[in-house]
Amino acid sequence: MKIVILDRETLGADLDLRVLEKFGEVKSYPKTLPSETAERVKGQNIILTNKVVINRDILENSSDMKLICITATGMNNVDLKSAEEFGIEVKNVAGYSTESVVQHTFATLFYLLENLNYHNSFVKSGEWRESRLFTDVSKPFFELAGKKFGVIGLGTIGKRVGEVAKAFGCEVVYYSTSGKNSSSNFKRVELNELLSTSSVISVHSPLNPQTENLLNYENMQQIKDGSVILNMGRGGIINEEDIAKTIESREILFGLDVTSVEPLPAENPLNRVLQNGKLFITPHIAWTSIEARKKLLEGVVKNIEDFLK
């Protein structure tokens, strides 16, 4: 088999991919531009891609291609209908990043909730020393215990986030964006009730026509001042112009690990509030724990093994 990895950098330099060599000759590229994709997959039997788009034109002109391994759960970067038409199998990996995403969700929550950036700077700048006080209570924070924690999207990750929030003493409510997922451990509510009553709102749903701009300026007016909104799902679920407007006009905190276009382009409205302490953004890293990426590679290997049986 001839194998090509189109965006090696997305998997991390610390991940040992030599295990793939048992299947055949491996070529690897740190990243691949749209203009480079067709040439790089030419003559290759197995394609590994995380975000590189494999469209109909590429599939139609790649007679040697047998298998596409998506090094992620989402499959929207491959034209699945065309792949099926041309007899090319497409496999993804699901469930590898649950614990990583849950951990990052709460890391982001506590960073925002307890004003950790401010307090770290307060000490390092010498302000604490000069204050002559043993403490600083100028930035109050609330405890999670006894607060309502709203989960939007009750898939595997959403359920696990709810379990952890419950362990912190929260009353967990959820809104199922698909209307299909449920849990007897938490109370199911409509979106408006979740927004108006929750102190923490955590988004873990996929992006689709039902969830695009699910949270917008109008319905975010129902959210209480002092609340925290987290998006670990997909950019575009919360309208980004409306995030900026809300930050400019309300005392609401936002923690994002995803944006509608990644990396964040210069024209994105979030840039005008990047330096505001009410916004914290990480570059789509929630899924990237060492353990999660190792599980991802194991899943890719198994997918290739199953295909070659």
Going by C-alpha positions, the residue among 1, 34, 30 that lies closest to residue 13 is: 30
Q: Which amino acid is at 48?
A: L
Inform me whether the pLDDT recorded for 182 exceeds 90.
no
User: How far apart, in Å, are the Cα atoms of 188 and each of 160, 172, 228?
Assistant: 15, 9, 20
Among the options 9, 262, 291, 305, which is catalytic?
262
Inform me whether the pLDDT recorded for 10 exceeds 90.
yes
DSSP at 208: S
Both 180 and 52 in one domain: the answer is no
Average pLDDT value for residue range 201-222: 96
The least confident of 19-23, 160-164, 205-209, 255-259 is 205-209
Both 81 and 136 in one domain: the answer is no
Distance CA 46, CA 66 (A): 6
Both 57 and 141 in one domain: the answer is no
User: Given the DSSP bridges, would you call strands 148-152 and 171-175 parallel, antiparallel or unpaired?
Assistant: parallel
% of the chain beyond a pLDDT of 90: 98
Both 47 and 108 in one domain: the answer is no
DSSP string, 243-266: HHHHHHHS--EEEES--SSSS--T
Both 134 and 267 in one domain: the answer is yes
Tokens 């590429």 label which residue? Answer: 58
Q: What is the structure's pLDDT at 16?
A: 96
Inform me whether the pLDDT recorded for 181 exceeds 90.
no
Any idea what the Cα angle at residue 158 is, between residues 278 and 235, rounded to 5°? 50
Any idea what the Cα angle at residue 97 is, between residues 281 and 89, rounded to 5°? 115
pLDDT per residue as tens digits for the range 81-131: 999 999 999 999 999 999 999 999 999 999 999 999 999 999 999 999 999
Inform me whether the pLDDT recorded for 141 exceeds 90.
yes
Distance CA 61, CA 117 (A): 51
Strand order of the β-sheet with 89-91 is 25-28, 2-5, 46-49, 67-70, 89-91
Confidence of residue 176 (pLDDT cuts 50, 70, 90): very high
Both 168 and 134 in one domain: the answer is yes
Helix (H) or strand (E) holding 101: helix 98-113
Distance CA 73, CA 155 (A): 13
Average pLDDT value for residue range 227-240: 97
% of the chain beyond a pLDDT of 70: 100
Both 89 and 234 in one domain: the answer is no
Pair 58, 37: CB distance under 8 Å:
yes
Q: Phi and psi at residue 231, in whole multiples of 5°?
A: -125, 105
Average pLDDT value for residue range 64-86: 96
pLDDT per residue as tens digits for the range 33-57: 999 999 999 999 999 999 999 999 9
Both 176 and 69 in one domain: the answer is no
* CATH number, position 76: 3.40.50.720
Tally of domains in the chain: 2
- Domain range enclosing 241: 98-281
Inform me whether the pLDDT recorded for 60 exceeds 90.
yes
Residue 262 appears among annotated catalytic residues: yes
Both 79 and 113 in one domain: the answer is no
Distance CA 224, CA 241 (A): 19
Both 243 and 296 in one domain: the answer is no
Both 171 and 190 in one domain: the answer is yes
Pair 11, 293: CB distance under 8 Å:
yes
Both 147 and 126 in one domain: the answer is yes
Tokens 């319905």 label which residue? Answer: 219
Q: Which amino acid is at 194?
A: L
Among the options 40, 104, 204, 234, which is catalytic?
234
